[in-house]
Chains A and B, each alone.
Chain A
Amino acid sequence: MNFIQNFPFFSIILSMFSGIVSSVLCPKAARWVNTFLISAVGIMSAILLGYLAQTGESYTYMMGHFPAPWGNEIRAGVLEAGMALFFCVIMLLSMLGGHKKLLREVEYSKHNLYYILVDLLLSSLLALIYTNDLFTAYVFVEINTIAACGLIMIRQIGRTIEAAVRYMIMSLLGSGLFLMGLCTLYDLTGHLLMSNIKESVAQLATQHEYTIPLLTTIGLISAGLAIKSALFPFHSWLPDAYGYSTVSSAAMLSSLVSKGYIFLLIKIFYRVIGFDIIADSKVINVLFVFGVLGMIFGSLSAIRENDIRRMISFSSVAQIGYIYMGFGLGTQIGIVASVFHILSHAATKSLLFIAAIGLTDVSNGSRKFQDLTGAGYRNKIAGVAFTVGSLSMVGVPIFSGFVSKLLFAEAAIGDNMKMMPAVIAMAVSVILNAIYFMKTVIRIYVPEHREDCQVITMKSEKVYAVTLICFIVLNIFLGMCSQPIVKWIESGLSMFG
């Protein structure tokens, strides 16, 4: 066995271990451990990705000393390794960009707790990406929820605690449904490892046995993970949680936590139930309907909002709707579009959150639109970054949002029944996106001279500026080099099968 094959295990155990070590370190050391950890995991994932791309096939890795049907397993393919790398990049940039705000908003004595939570979040995300065992996935889903709850409430104001409570309630409803579905599936098949379950499910499907329990199981699991990733009617916790928590948390919650659940759902579709059975079931139609509703109602709520952070949060609801609409199409190309949108939304949304705090900082900390007038001149780099993020969200070519919308449109055209609603909803949603994002961009570039506001230049906040430039480059990279990325997603999905 090649040494590189140990890397997924190393990444998970290293991030858990750094979390434990951070609890006794001073905040500064904890920060260095955290930065080192994220970079190390990123580098390991990159090496693993290179190795897997070379060999061209996935592998399973035995955890402990028990072989397949009994023991626990990790599985790695190109999609998993690439996702881990991407998540590390976004996490590192979010931590860098929000560090200054963290110093201001959170008590210094609590900083090492924050880094523990981030380490735990990384370990649970990696475990969700790599695991081949459904019950392990459930346990790490819960760890992810707890870490995310801590990230929301590390800034101790009334709003964040209330948001954390609402987040926990919704998440626990979701994980209850997920666990129930998992237990039923275990009862039907007698296995917990994904590949073994898939064989049994395929057998059940060909013999037409237990069709109703199987459908119920798919419904429970999809509903549970959809609730946890804030699909449209279950998004009530989202604006407060993203809008008032410290900015690194908001960026990570919107671009990583919900995406981890969605990635797990894709894995379950492909590796547990089997994509053909999913495509034939009625569950994806439900996901499609709620996805389309989310695309429109999320944008409508964003238009009504007068607070820039909450507006960006509501836009997340719409983007999650896009991803579920892609699932709902029930074709391979729909899933490819969804995975690409996971990447593009993660890169864009964290950029927007971090650019938005730059704009509010130069407007006396106010987040209301009328106070943001001219903020793009007072903090130039944040203004440029916000514009780039907005253009990407609206779907202007050369930015990443355009490619994902193009892929969604191509996927929708392949389906006769769902083509009209999907394409119309996308058109409406793009126009609504343009209304609220362009409104903001125009607002921040209306010239207004204000004496009472400070001016931030690139030289005074170097780290922040570099972070935003990295995000912009990442965004343009996703938009310009989409072809190899789509190829990579396709090969990763075919390795799932």
Chain B
Amino acid sequence: MFGPNLFANYGEAVAVILFGIGFSNLLLQKNLIKKIIGLNIMDTAIYLYLAEKGYIAGRVAPIVVDGVQEVSAYINPIPSGLVLTGIVVSVSVTAIMLSLTIRLYRRYHTLDLDEISMRLKKEGM
């Protein structure tokens, strides 16, 4: 079941492992900055997956040079386009997360989300 398929697609396997690492960091870390790093690892893993899937060995980027016109000479550009769109999205959510972190840090002088919740409960409101 695993054997040759796993070795042929080792790039995708690495991407999925990285996705798991990022996902669990985002979910389980207490420190907000580490959570954001986890988020970035998770997103980047998806782009690695897309890039791996989008590349076909022996073909080149779809830019016509030397007058080669056959479709079979090029790879599909859409996965690369998806990666670009995804990067834009993840940059914006990272920016929002960082700005929220700054706000919380200015108020509570800690990056530990659980401790912030404890203090909020003590405040009552």
Contact = CB atoms under 8 A, between A and B. Distances in A.
A119 B103 CA distance: 25
Interface in B71-125: 78-79, 82, 85-86, 89, 92-93, 96-97, 100-101, 103-104, 107-108, 113, 116-117, 119-120, 123, 125
Interface centre among B22, B78, B123 (most CB of A within 10 A): B78
B100 A164 contact: yes
Nearest to A367: B125
Interface in A160-218: 161-162, 164-166, 168-169, 172-173, 176-177, 179-180, 183, 186-187, 192
Given A142-B93, A168-B96, A176 B53 contact: no
Given A139-B85, A183-B53, A165 B100 contact: yes
A149 B100 CA distance: 10
B46 A179 contact: yes
A362 to B, nearest CB: 19
A103 B107 CA distance: 24
A192 B93 contact: no
B104 A145 contact: no
A162 B117 contact: yes
A183 B116 contact: no
Contacts of A186: 53, 79, 82
Interface residues of A, number: 28
A176 B50 contact: no
B61 interface: no
A173 B19 CA distance: 11
Contacts, number: 80
Nearest to A172: B39
A85 interface: no
Contact of A172 (B26, B49, B113): B26
Contact of A159 (B32, B46, B92, B125): B125
Contacts of B119: 158
B116 A180 contact: no
Which range holds the interface residue count of chain B? 35 or more
B118 to A, nearest CB: 11
Interface string A354-368: 000000000000000
A173 B38 CA distance: 10
Identify whether the interface residues of B are mostly helix, strand, loop, or mixed. Answer: helix
Interface in B52-72: 53
B76 to A, nearest CB: 8
Contact of B104 (A162, A180, A192): A162
A158 B108 contact: yes
Given A146-B96, A162-B104, A173 B26 contact: yes
A158 B120 contact: yes
Contacts of A142: 89, 92-93
A142 B53 CA distance: 23
A135 interface: yes
Contacts of A139: 85, 89
Contact of B120 (A162, A168, A172): A162
A465 interface: no
B93 A172 contact: yes
B57 to A, nearest CB: 16
Interface centre among B22, B100, B108, B125 (most CB of A within 10 A): B100
Nearest to A184: B49
Contacts of A192: 78
A77 B101 CA distance: 42
A153 interface: yes
A161 B107 contact: yes
A180 B86 CA distance: 11
A239 to B, nearest CB: 12
11 contacts: A139-B89, A142-B93, A158-B120, A159-B120, A161-B107, A162-B116, A172-B93, A177-B23, A179-B46, A180-B19, A180-B46
